[in-house]
Amino acid sequence: MTVMRRQVWNEMGSDARAALMHRGIDDIFDPELRTSIGIILEDVRRRGDAAVCDALAKFDGIALTPDQLRVSTAEFEQAVVSDAVDEAIDDAIIHLRTFNEAQMQQSRDWSVESEPGLTVGEKITPISSVGLFTPSGKASYPSVAYQLAVPAVVAGVPKVSLVVPPVPGGSGEIDPAVLVVCRKLGIENVFRVNGPAGIAALGFGTESIDKVVKIVGPGSPAVTIAQVEMQRFGTSTMMLLGPTESLVIADETADPVRLAADLLIEAEHGTDSSVVLLTTSAALADATDTELDRQLAALPEVRATACRASLGPNGGCVLVDDLDTAIAVANEYAAEHLQVAVADADIDRVVDGLVNAGEILIGQDTPFSAANFILGCPASLPTSGFAHVASGITANAFLKRTAIARSNGTAIRRMASNVIALADHEGFPAHANALHLRNT
């Protein structure tokens, strides 16, 4: 039984190619969903904490009062995880700090004298506040908490808040691993909320939850559309962080056992995920399919079902004539996660040619799961083709650039006639007068 849908790029028509590229965005912009989320946002805007508590009761089945929304000091102190998980969190935070601190070294104030007497440059500063959304529902994601929080802390954001839905079926408890992450990073503003209502609370501010200028974090279509809608009220959000997706470029040298294992990593997230294998080798595709079937048998049924959807109707194997074609297809697909599993002699050429991807992992000893949890590269990455125009969440996501210029009398006199000419052409006499009076 084959697991991967099999297609041949040169035999695919324009509709089939477009269908491969299109994924994960329709649910986000469903008109009925937009309407229902808009009602929640407006309710939170008008009623604050009371609306947040009502959303928790209605959608999560958890009854809380406004004074219970904030995680208490005692909860932080009592949060514990196993030694293994604690060590893993420390390892991840170290790697994320290394990556983001190195990035900050590249994000420094700069200036240049563009002509005698005129200096221009940029001042780089952190944004004033940010709200981090950590999902909880299908599973708990402390890794999302540190993937979002470490870059914000390294960037120097002075006010960081984190919102997270309570553990399903409980009475308001937060996954202790998320609290351990926050404790290690010094984040004290943590709130238990329903997803869309929490996004609204961060964007508008409530009696308990402070308003922030930017909100980031992956979630369900409801959470994603809440972030999109909040832009209408002046809150900055990031690119779409929708259903996960991955793409692997592999040639005949790839190991089908490891290849199958790596394809299943993102595939197990859900039936809305998309996983694509681009390969030049039909023999490798056959061997990988056999191995996929074997490895799927060891997964829980819910994960196996997700994998079959991700590798079947949502993605699958696409045979290409050569690696140049694979590069072109991958750039059009613009995957969230991309792995290169080709012969050593071709690695540099392939990686150099890839320009649209949230991340590029090189070789079969760099699996997606290592990047998701430990490596230090961003794991909150653009999906649904937004890697064409966006990047993952790193320290840069929490910085802003302010242009700075300083001109002396010599330089402004030199530019005056050109400023006046353009001001006159565009019909702005006050613009021109400011230069005329300096020349009198």
Q: Is 336 a catalytic residue?
A: yes
Residues 6+ positions from 153 with CB-CB distance below 8 Å: 160, 185, 186, 187
Residue type (1 letter), 17: R
| Token reading at 410 | 């010599």
Write a three-state SS string for 72-112: CHHHHHHCCCCHHHHHHHHHHHHHHHHHHHHHHHCCCCEEE
CA geometry: angle at 122 spanning 118 and 127, to 5°?
155
**Choice among 95, 268, 337, 359 that is catalytic:** 337
User: Residue 395 corresponds to which tokens in the numbers above?
Assistant: 């320290």
Contact call for residues 310 and 23 (beta carbons, < 8 A)? no
Q: Is 337 a catalytic residue?
A: yes
- Residues with Cβ within 8 Å of residue 91, at least 6 apart in sequence: 374
CB 160 within 8 A of CB 129: yes
Give me the catalytic one of 336, 359, 388, 426.
Answer: 336
Residue 82 backbone phi and psi in degrees, to 5:
-65, 160
Q: What are phi and psi of 159, to 5 degrees?
A: -130, 110
CA distance 149 to 132: 7
The three-class DSSP label of residue 156 is coil
- Residue pair 273/310 in contact (Cβ under 8 Å)? The answer is yes
Query: To 10 degrees, the CA torsion angle through 85, 264, 308, 390?
Result: 90
What residues form DSSP beta bridges with 136?
140
Evaluate whether 344 touches 360 at the Cβ level (below 8 Å): no
Residues marked as catalytic:
336-337
